[in-house]
Amino acid sequence: MRPGEQKYPHIFSPIKIGKFTCKNRIKYASTEDNFNCENGFVTNREVAYMEAQARGGAAIVTTQGAYTDPKGEGKGYVGMMGIWDDKFIPGLKKIADVIKANNAIAMLQLMHCGRVGGVELDYTVGPSVVPQKLPRFRPPQEMSKEKIKETIREHIDGARRAVEAGFQMIEVSGIVGYLVSNFISSYTNKRTDEYGGDIRGRCRFMVEILEGIRKEVGPDIALGIRLVTDELLHDRGGNKPEESVETMKIAEACGIDFLSITAGWQESAVSVISRDVPMGNWLYLAERVKKNVKVPVTMAYRLFIPEFPEKAIAEGNLDMWEMCRPMMSDPALPNKIAEDRQEDIVPCMACNICLARLFRDVPVTCMVNPWIGHEREEGFGYYGFDKVASPKKVLIAGAGVAGMQAAYVAAKKGHDVTLMEKSNDVGGQLRIASCGPFGDDEFMRLVNHLKAQVDKSGAKVQFGKEVTAADINAMKPDYVIVATGAANKKPNIPGAEKIVDGYDVMEGKVAVGKKVVLLGDMGVAMSIAQHLVVKGGHEITIVGVAKKFGTDINPSYVWRVRKKLKEGNVQEVSRSVPVAVTDAGVVVKTPEGEVTIPADTVVAAKPESNRQLVDALEKSGIKYRFIGDAYKPRRGSNAVNEGFRAALEIDA
């Protein structure tokens, strides 16, 4: 028995789902990735991604959702795989085969995206015409009874094809505003026929799908469904909690073998899966369901570390730990936990760049996993790097996440790496960001992970050492990677000496008065403002040249940040620049003229790249590359991914 299996005995105990005995209690959850062809055919890229998930150690590996109709009304993502015709079976079989070849159980998910579908159409379909709350989606059309029956048949036919492709388990998606959930919810189902009315009528669509699939595939195929335990649509007439529980009971009566439960819709006006939701937050919903059903219950959503599911399973409040984003970040997460190597797990930051990419109709990327979508590609080294034939002497300036990522990858490839950091700590701006509220302390999980990898890689680390031209001339490296980040530069205006650094504000290094003016218009300024709102006792104004502030913040977070700032009565002065700082405050040039904004504390909150080494590197003739914020101030995803690619390019 491996050490992690002893440490987490409930997670690594077997469980029976239908007629299948699962080797542990970990299920890789379905997630879209846009890796497939736009016509629905499976690509080799998708197969390679699923292979990585299967090799990672989960007992059950679920495909992304497959849309079931030829018109594409159920298609919510451009790279979503199809299952509406037998022609898709060979591609689907490749996925089933690669999952089973790696000692995991192959599960396929059937998904009709309903009111958030029709990605290539100018309409969506649903039980009733209820206007969309999210502007990116298309207007819905009401389904006729004939259309409903046709859609049910398409799900059943999809299940047959899944079995023919070799899948052992089938899951129907009924979450986040997809079609099954549209019928179940009182928010979107206003029908008065047998497919509407009370909760049993609204569940009829689900029932006919589940019963039809069970009859089609027989008892040897495990069948389950993903359902919403709390829609979080109380502000617009969504289901009551007791109605959601009744939905679970109705599904169980259809002969399912497991339930996968979630919370919230895409249209919910509260946080569900972002970092401001504490880990383990939704486990009370699993406990509620477990009291009402007998089939095994699986759950995802903010269960990123094993302590939470281990305790929940031990207490009988959960049966399986389900993950999508944490295993997108690191498919090998189950094996690393089993081996008690948690410092080696690439930790999900719940940044939701994956979702942002999906909603922009492009393949997903990951803030922390540069390998995603490249698992089989030569040179990316997902399954281990070959040592380079001619190791280079590499100097890396800066031990933020970009520099650390570059250092450990370059060292693993066999290069002689020296990493210099002017401070006495690692992490750079992500360490500073971890001082923020609403779960931002989780950023230290990534900082600590990268530090552990650097330590194990053999790279030499020097603290308290800022790289200078003299260092470059003395070391004579073959390659220099500049990851010196960015600094909040004070504007060159009268009174600039009164301005304090926004990073010092975040770290509590300076006293902040009651009236605060932040100079900056992007995510850094808004994050500092949010930090001060939570601390309380401040009157805050943000001044910036942009027309709209915070455009660099992920869409999954920007609306939450704006909400917090509005609640904190933060004022925004846009299309404006500071021209002086006086004892009275900040003199600001606005489109309407100059005004003075009262301020006890003026904060520089707009980073500019640290590029002091450019001249020295140009004169040296040494190959070099600027990465992360040293190239241009952006987000953590850019830093990690550029650090990775810079390391690959050393020997190119």
DSSP 83: -
Span 308-321, average pLDDT = 98
Tell me whether residue 383 is in a domain. Answer: no
Closest CA to 180 of 138, 218, 231: 231
- Alpha-carbon distance of 451 to 430, in angstroms, equals 13
Residues 444 and 334 in one domain: no
Residues 522 and 544 in one domain: yes
Span 340-361, average pLDDT = 95
Tell me whether residue 377 is in a domain. Answer: no
Active-site hit among 178, 301, 479, 503 = 178
User: pLDDT exceeding 70 applies to what percent of the chain?
Assistant: 100
Tell me whether residue 387 is in a domain. Answer: no
pLDDT band at 136 (very low <50, low <70, confident <90, very high): confident
pLDDT at 531 over 80: yes
Residues 284 and 316 in one domain: yes
Residues 172 and 81 in one domain: yes
Span 480-491, average pLDDT = 96
Tell me whether strands 20-22 and 297-299 are parallel, antiparallel or unpaired: unpaired
What digits encode the pLDDT tens for the residues 182-233?
999 999 999 999 999 999 999 999 999 999 999 999 999 999 999 999 999 9
Tell me whether residue 371 is in a domain. Answer: no
What digits encode the pLDDT tens for the residues 249-308?
999 999 999 999 999 999 998 899 999 999 999 999 999 999 999 999 999 999 999 999
575 φ/ψ sector (left φ>0, alpha ψ -120 to 50, else beta): left
Q: Is residue 199 a contact partner of residue 94, using CB atoms and an 8 Å limit? A: no
pLDDT band at 93 (very low <50, low <70, confident <90, very high): very high
Burial code of 322-339, b = ≥16 C-beta within 10 A, e = fewer? bbbbbbbbbbbbbbbbbe
Full-model pTM: 0.95
**What residue numbers bound the domain in which 548 lies?**
488-606
Strand-pair partners of 65: 109
Residues 65 and 90 in one domain: yes
Q: What is the H or E stretch that residue 158 is in?
A: helix 145-164
- Provide the CATH number for the domain around residue 55: 3.20.20.70
Q: What is the pLDDT of residue 560?
A: 87
Q: What count of other Cβ atoms lies within 10 Å of the Cβ of residue 513?
A: 12
Residues 110 and 213 in one domain: yes
What digits encode the pLDDT tens for the residues 411-442?
999 999 999 999 999 999 999 999 999 999 99
Residues 229 and 328 in one domain: yes
Closest CA to 118 of 95, 152, 96, 143: 143
Strand-pair partners of 594: 589
Residues 22 and 37 in one domain: yes
What digits encode the pLDDT tens for the residues 538-587?
999 999 999 999 999 988 888 889 999 999 999 999 999 999 999 999 99
What digits encode the pLDDT tens for the residues 13-30?
999 999 999 999 999 999
Domain boundary among the residues 343, 358, 373 is at: 358
* Encoded amino acid at 250, one letter: I
Residues 86 and 180 in one domain: yes
Q: What is the pLDDT of residue 135?
A: 79
Tell me whether residue 379 is in a domain. Answer: no
Tell me whether residue 382 is in a domain. Answer: no
Span 84-90, average pLDDT = 98
Tell whether the torsion through CA atoms of 291, 294, 296 and 300 is positive or negative.
Answer: negative
Residues 139 and 214 in one domain: yes
pLDDT at 381 over 90: yes
Tell me whether strands 258-263 and 140-142 are parallel, antiparallel or unpaired: unpaired
pLDDT band at 133 (very low <50, low <70, confident <90, very high): confident
User: pLDDT exceeding 90 applies to what percent of the chain?
Assistant: 97
- Alpha-carbon distance of 581 to 597, in angstroms, equals 10
Q: What is the pLDDT of residue 495?
A: 97
Q: What is the H or E stretch that residue 297 is in?
A: strand 297-299
DSSP 39: T
pLDDT at 532 over 90: yes
Closest CA to 585 of 498, 525, 508: 498
Q: Is residue 367 a contact partner of residue 636, using CB atoms and an 8 Å limit? A: yes
Q: What is the pLDDT of residue 538?
A: 97
Q: What is the pLDDT of residue 163?
A: 98
Which are the contacts of 556, defined by CB distance < 8 A and separation ≥ 6?
A: 274, 351, 352, 355, 356
Structure tokens at 378: 């030569």
Tell me whether residue 96 is in a domain. Answer: yes
Q: Tell me what the pLDDT averaged over the chain comes to.
A: 96
Tell me whether residue 364 is in a domain. Answer: no
Q: What is the pLDDT of residue 297?
A: 98
Domain tally, the chain? 3
- Provide the CATH number for the domain around residue 629: 3.40.50.720
Residues 478 and 500 in one domain: no
Residues 208 and 300 in one domain: yes
pLDDT at 132 over 90: no
Which are the contacts of 469, defined by CB distance < 8 A and separation ≥ 6?
A: 613, 615, 616, 619, 620
- Alpha-carbon distance of 644 to 650, in angstroms, equals 11
| Catalytic residue check, 8 | no
Closest CA to 260 of 303, 295, 304, 231: 295
- Provide the CATH number for the domain around residue 546: 3.50.50.60
